[in-house]
Amino acid sequence: MLRIGFLGLGTMGTPMAMNLLAAGFPLVVWNRTPIKTKPLAERGAKVAKGPAHVASEVDVVITMVSAPSAVESVILGPSGVLEGIRSGAIVVDMSTVSPTTSRKLAGALTTKQVEFLDAPVVGSRGPAKQGTLVILIGGLPGTLERVRPVLSAMGKTIIYAGGVGMGSALKLATNLMLAHLATGFAEGLLLVQRCGLDPRRFLDVLAASTFCSPWYETKGSTMLKRDFAAHFALSLMRKDLGLMNELAKELNLPLPVTELIERLFGEAQSTGKGNDDYSAILAHLEAGSPK
Ligand code: NA7
């Protein structure tokens, strides 16, 4: 059985690593804040001293950290994965980063004959726990086949996007939709409430019409209750909006609405909502709309 190393035990990484243990994979873990390794260690994972140490002991290294700078530091930085990894190993980065970052990592790892996949996920804390994430892949199809059983322990659907960077590009496009959806729903909800309507009727209409999505029943319902406990932090969505707009600029593609939404998320973050769920964009819009 492949030996797996897992770096980054945050909201997403911990349940994903738990599912690897549950599937029987021998697991070595590391996290920048060491205390977060405890639940994994209690279930049999080995805790390593750092990313290079993890990489020296496994066949597949998985990274699940917050942002491009974090994954670059974990893989390319001092005592990083690149220092310890053996040729023939595979690195799978499941963080949401830019396609440029994915290509940079793949290029650096090639110097050690290490294959790379960008494999960001769609789905937040719940699907990570249930092992039902949707995993988007950039890289060689042969590399994907080597790690498919590993990915299948964490996700229900694996979508092959293309070469290195394409998984990251597809993920950014998907999160673009999510940011638009949350912002649009929030504005619609405020309008409905200001008109004196019962907001549940708004959900009823959405559920009965062509753009029905389970998102409205899950996220829409928690937004109605103003429950903004983080499943996917607003600060991370703000980071992704920045990556989308950066990518669009590289492609000379105007995304005017996404630019505006990035600004709104930036304002929400600067007023202290960064650690709330991304759906707290509703609270930000509400605060700016006095009666
Ligand atoms: P979290 O819960 O914020 O976790 C982020 C993880 O990234 C956590 O383990 C952090 O370690 C780690 N991190 C952040 N910066 C660094 C640096 N510089 N070096 C090493 N490790 C770092 O995020 P989620 O689990 O919700 O999301 C993970 C990814 O999936 C992200 O790309 C999302 O956009 C999608 P810490 O515990 O703070 O020491």
Q: What is the pLDDT of residues 47-83, one digit of tens each?
A: 999 999 999 999 999 999 999 999 999 999 999 999 9
Please give the model's pTM, rounded to 2 decimal places.
0.96
If pLDDT is split at 50, 70 and 90, which confidence band does 290 have? confident
Domain limits, CATH 3.40.50.720, in the chain: 4-162
Of all atoms in ligand 1, which is nearest to the CA of residue 240? 34
d(CA 74, CA 55): 11
Q: What class is the 169-287 domain?
A: mainly alpha
Residue-wise pLDDT tens digits, 75-113:
999 999 999 999 999 999 999 999 999 999 999 999 999
Q: Whose CA is nearest to atom 21 of ligand 1?
A: 32
* Predicted pLDDT of residue 211: 84
Question: What is the C-alpha to C-alpha distance for residues 107 and 115, in angstroms, rounded to an integer?
Answer: 9
Q: In the chain, where does the domain assigned CATH 1.10.1040.10 lie?
A: 169-287
Question: Looking at residue 289, what is its pLDDT?
Answer: 78
pLDDT at 291 over 80: no
Ligand 1 and 61: CB distance under 6 A: no
Active site residue 129: no
pLDDT of 20 higher than 80: yes
Fold of 4-162: Rossmann fold (3.40.50)
Residue among 62, 66, 275 whose CB has most ligand 1 atoms within 8 A, to mutate: 66
Contact in structure between 70 and 42 (CB atoms under 8 Å): no
* Element at 28 (helix H, strand E): strand 27-30
Give dist(CA 255, CA 278) in Å, integer: 20
